[in-house]
């Protein structure tokens, strides 16, 4: 049994959505998360089949997982801008 961190699950869901065009719930993406997280390094040079199932994820949870995965990869930036005239000039 392997323990997979939630950030790796979010990265796996993000990868499946972006690269493979699959929508997968967290439990279904755990096998890919274990491989991406390098929890089983001896599988890195082998051909591996991951059984992933379960697309029971609602839109709000999917959006949160995508945001968390992008944040974990350093691809998400959040900033605040004051609500004054001309504030976007300095952004």
Three-class SS of 24-50: CCHHHHHHHHHHHCCCCHHHCCCCCCC
pTM listed for this prediction: 0.80
pLDDT at position 89 over 80:
no
Q: What is the pLDDT of residue 27?
A: 93
pLDDT at position 90 over 80:
no
Give the count of alpha carbons within 13 A of 69, CB side only. 22
Write out pLDDT tens, residues 32-87.
999 999 999 998 889 999 898 888 999 999 999 999 999 999 998 887 777 888 77
């Amino acid at each position: 049994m392997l323990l997979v961190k939630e950030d790796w699950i979010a990265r796996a869901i993000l990868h499946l959505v972006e690269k493979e065009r699959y929508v997968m719930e967290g439990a279904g993406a755990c096998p890919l998360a274990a491989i991406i997280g390098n929890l089983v390094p001896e599988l890195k040079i082998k051909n591996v089949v991951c059984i992933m199932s379960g697309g029971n994820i609602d839109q709000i949870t999917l959006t949160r997982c995508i945001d968390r995965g992008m944040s974990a990869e350093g691809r998400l930036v959040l900033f605040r801008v004051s609500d004054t005239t001309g504030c976007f000039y300095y952004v």
